[in-house]
């Protein structure tokens, strides 16, 4: 029983991992990847949805919209200065770093209209330890606008002391063709055991 449950959990994890990296995957694609029949895969997916481990959602493909350039901007804050900012949110969001993250995601004003149309802040995270306090994932369809965004719009916020920007050259989770190629190459091959040769000669029986 324990072995069956472990196998069940492994198959479910494979389904969840594949859908996490490829949200638009069909049941046939998932079944082929995890090496199961379509009906069995669909049954597992249905159970995962009912258990709230898998959710159906619409996802915007920023790459398809042209925002294929992705940057990580590490943000160093001046704590005392930042505490005085966004006071209107203090009751709802006591943590000043969270208030800054909320501001960047929802209320950041970019004065240059052309730059504003070419910049999307995908996510903001609070990080612990040096050298940054927050990290913003920024997308753009025109790399020439990233300089103005960082030096003018981002560093212009009181409480932002310094930034460090990195260009994302490659990401495992976004390179589906690479992952599929690796899975094909590392997939264990089924070894067929050679059939034993049949002895077609009949032993003669002595004394017949």
For the chain, domain boundaries: 2-59, 69-167
**pLDDT higher than 50, residue 160:** yes
18-52 residue pLDDT tens: 888 888 889 999 999 888 999 999 999 999 999 99
Burial profile 22-34: b = 16 or more Cβ within 10 angstroms, e = fewer: beebeeeebbebb
Q: Are 122 and 139 in contact (CB under 8 A)?
A: yes
Q: How confident is the model at residue 183 (pLDDT cuts 50, 70, 90)?
A: low
State both tokens at 183. Answer: 């899975």
46-94 residue pLDDT tens: 999 999 999 888 888 899 999 999 999 999 999 999 999 988 888 999 9
Q: Any idea how long the chain is?
A: 208
Cα–Cα distance between 179 and 133 in angstroms, integer?
Answer: 32
Quickly list DSSP for the chain.
-HHHHHHHHHHHHHHHHHHHH-TT--HHHHHHHHT--HHHHHHHHHHHHHTTSS-------TTTTT--EEEEEEEEE-HHHHHTS-GGGTTT---HHHHHHHHHHHT---S-HHHHHTEEEEEEEE--SSS-SEEEEEEES-GGGHHHIIIIIITTSTTEEEEEEEE----GGG-HHHHHHHHHHHSPPPPPPPPPPP--SPPPPTT-
State both tokens at 172. Answer: 């495992």
Q: What is the CATH number of domain 69-167?
A: 3.30.70.920
Q: What is the pLDDT of residue 2?
A: 45
Q: Which CATH architecture has domain 2-59?
A: Orthogonal Bundle (1.10)
Please report, for residues 80, 81, 145, 160, the alpha-carbon distance to residue 152 in angstroms, rounded to integers and kept in the order given: 21, 18, 11, 11
Range scoring the smallest mean pLDDT among 10-14, 86-90, 163-167, 188-192: 188-192
pTM of the model: 0.74
For residue 73, the cross-strand partners are: 136, 165
Q: What is the pLDDT of residue 1?
A: 41
């Amino acid at each position: 029983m324990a072995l069956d449950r472990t196998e069940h959990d492994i198959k479910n994890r494979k389904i969840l991992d594949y859908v996490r990296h490829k949200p638009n995957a069909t049941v046939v694609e998932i079944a082929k990847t995890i090496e199961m029949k379509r009906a069995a895969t669909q049954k597992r997916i249905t159970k995962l949805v009912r258990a709230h481990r898998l959710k159906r959602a619409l996802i915007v493909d920023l790459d398809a919209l042209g925002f294929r350039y992705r940057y990580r901007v590490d943000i160093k804050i001046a704590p005392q200065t930042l505490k005085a900012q966004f006071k209107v949110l203090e009751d709802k969001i006591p943590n000043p770093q969270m208030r800054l993250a909320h501001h960047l995601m929802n209320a950041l004003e970019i004065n240059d209209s052309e730059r504003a149309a070419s910049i999307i802040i995908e996510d903001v995270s609070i990080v612990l330890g040096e050298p940054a306090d927050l990290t913003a994932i920024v997308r753009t369809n025109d790399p020439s606008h990233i300089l103005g965004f960082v030096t003018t719009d981002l560093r212009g916020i009181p409480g932002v002391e310094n930034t460090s920007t990195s260009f994302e050259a490659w990401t495992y989770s976004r390179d589906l063709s690479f992952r599929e190629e690796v899975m094909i190459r590392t997939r264990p091959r089924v070894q067929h055991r050679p059939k034993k040769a049949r002895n077609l000669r009949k032993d003669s029986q002595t004394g017949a």
